[in-house]
Amino acid sequence: MSEFWSLSTSAALVSVGISLYGVVAYLVGILDGGTRPRMASWVAWCTANTVFAMVAYLAGAYLAAGINAASASMNAAVIVLGLRRGVSLRPNDNIDWACLLSSIACVLVTVEISEKTFGALVAICANLIATVPTLRHAWSKPQEETWQMFAANAFAGALGVLGVLLASGYQFATVAGPLITAIGNIALVSLTVGRGRIAEESAVPVRVG
């Protein structure tokens, strides 16, 4: 197997491919009108993944940089289509404001990253904050989320971690992006599927007599 086409490269490509499948499913849901993304979450995820990509690139972990850059591009696609379908960027509550503020922090870090670990920590915080509005949305309105995307991203994140570890070994700043993606999406798919089933069961009419 060549130096370029290695097991780590294969894992990374499969990871991006699975993420792409999940995002396409999510975009189709937005076009159908059933999926309503929490825009504050997606903006924060996009900026966080951009920081992860830059941190990995500066660390010489180009595979990790590519995975994170692909994630940021997919996040941007959801934002653009959501806006085109009339989903507002306007914050609804304090946690939405926290997402937007964390996005601004990520942008400031992106301008000048002198300490890679600090940049990764800021991006992790932004990612975790960004997950909260979507978790709340999945809890209250699971039918407005597309669980397939979260499942695909969870699996893709795990493969991304494997690819990065195989390519450059363990470095916190480079493995942080796909790792936090996997963890966050495992939580989202679990909640979306679980709450969706509860909502379906409660909607079944009970025959009397």
Closest among 43, 40, 47, 187 to 123, alpha carbons compared: 47
pLDDT tens digit sequence for 35-79: 888 888 888 889 888 888 888 888 787 888 888 898 899 999 999
Please state, rounded to an integer, the average pLDDT across all residues of the chain.
81
Per-residue pLDDT at 5? 56
Closest among 110, 108, 87 to 41, alpha carbons compared: 87
**pLDDT mean over 115-140:** 82
Per-residue pLDDT at 130? 82
CA angle 126, 64, 129 (to 5 degrees): 10
Say whether pLDDT at 80 is over 90. Answer: yes
**pLDDT mean over 137-163:** 82
Question: What's this model's pTM, rounded to 2 decimal places?
Answer: 0.75
CA distance linking residue 41 with residue 162, whole number of Å: 26
How many residues does this entry show for the chain? 209
* Confidence label for 200 from pLDDT (cuts 50, 70 and 90): low
* Confidence label for 206 from pLDDT (cuts 50, 70 and 90): very low
